[in-house]
Structure 1
Amino acid sequence: MTTNSCTIWAPRVLSILRIVAGYCLLWHGTSKYFGTPGNAIEGLQIFSMMGIAGLIELVAGVLLIIGLFTRSAAFIASGFTAAAYFIGHVAGKGMLLFPNMNGGEAAVLFCFIFFYLIFAGPGPWSIDALRGKSE
């Protein structure tokens, strides 16, 4: 593949990255609330830490999949996943610089993928692009 063909495909691949990352985030929320896939959290309260996490995962996941308000959704998702890393993986376990040791690899990757989307935007396959807005 030549450099030129990679450059031509870059915006489309950005859209694919956004869709897949949003899809993966969405399933974390559906798992918490609906037990699909996995097990629902029994007695989950919407205003608890896990309840708010699930709500962010659901809403931001859908917005990222369809590419609506992408930069704002990515900003919230990036901050949320950074907090998830420090609260859920570093606190009590230590190993700040070793996500493979504290189980936080997914949170770190999510954080930086969403951080990238804040600056890169939604890509051409998005509602934002159809609206002629990248926010």
Structure 2
Amino acid sequence: MLSVLRIFVALLFLQHGLMKYFGFPANSPPNFTMFSLAGLAGAIEIVGSLLLLAGLYTRQAAFIMSGEMAVAYFMLRPQRGFFPLTNGGELESLYCFVFLYLVFAGPGPWSIDATRRRAAIA
């Protein structure tokens, strides 16, 4: 189930980066530029999600993506209130802690990381 969680969350998170850069599956944000904070976030979302999806450098990618979500939460939400339910930050909070969980739990058995680890032991 750990691998299923990792793959599913990676596919969900990938949509955010694809939306920013390619306008798929939803329209790009207005005034989006590649060389901005939103552009950096989109790059992290695409590259990190693809790494997570494959299970390659999972812990490192998840750590960076968890940090991105923490920054997104604390930049956008506190001025709207303390609790994620009232300030609209539930998604950032959930992603942040799922990615943090993956940092410590690892990628699971269906991953390139696990395959490389098995090959190194053999």
> How does the TM-score come out when normalised to structure 2?
0.91
Gaps of 5+ in 1: 1-12
> How far off is 1:23 after superposition?
0.9
Gaps of 5+ in 2: none
Q: Which amino acid in structure 1 is aligned with residue 94 of structure 2?
A: L
Q: Which amino acid in structure 1 is aligned with residue 7 of structure 2?
A: I
Q: Which amino acid in structure 1 is aligned with residue 88 of structure 2?
A: G
Q: Which amino acid in structure 2 is aligned with residue 70 of structure 1?
A: T
The CA RMSD measured in Å over matched residues stands at 1.3
Q: Identify, as 1 or 2, the structure richer in helix.
A: 2
> How does the TM-score come out when normalised to structure 1?
0.83
Task: Choose which of 44, 47, 56 in structure 2 pairs with 1:68.
Answer: 56
Count matched residues: 118
Q: Deviations over 1:54-96 (max 9, x none)?
A: 1111011111111000000000000000111111222x32x22
- Determine helix, strand or coil for the equivalent of 2:117: coil
Q: Which amino acid in structure 2 is aligned with residue 110 of structure 1?
A: Y
Q: Which amino acid in structure 2 is aligned with residue 126 of structure 1?
A: S
- Determine helix, strand or coil for the equivalent of 1:36: coil
- Counterpart contact for 1:85–1:104, Cα < 8 Å: yes
Aligned partner of 2:17 in structure 1 is 29
Which has the higher Rg, Structure 1 or Structure 2? Answer: 1
Percent identity of paired positions between Structure 1 and Structure 2 = 53
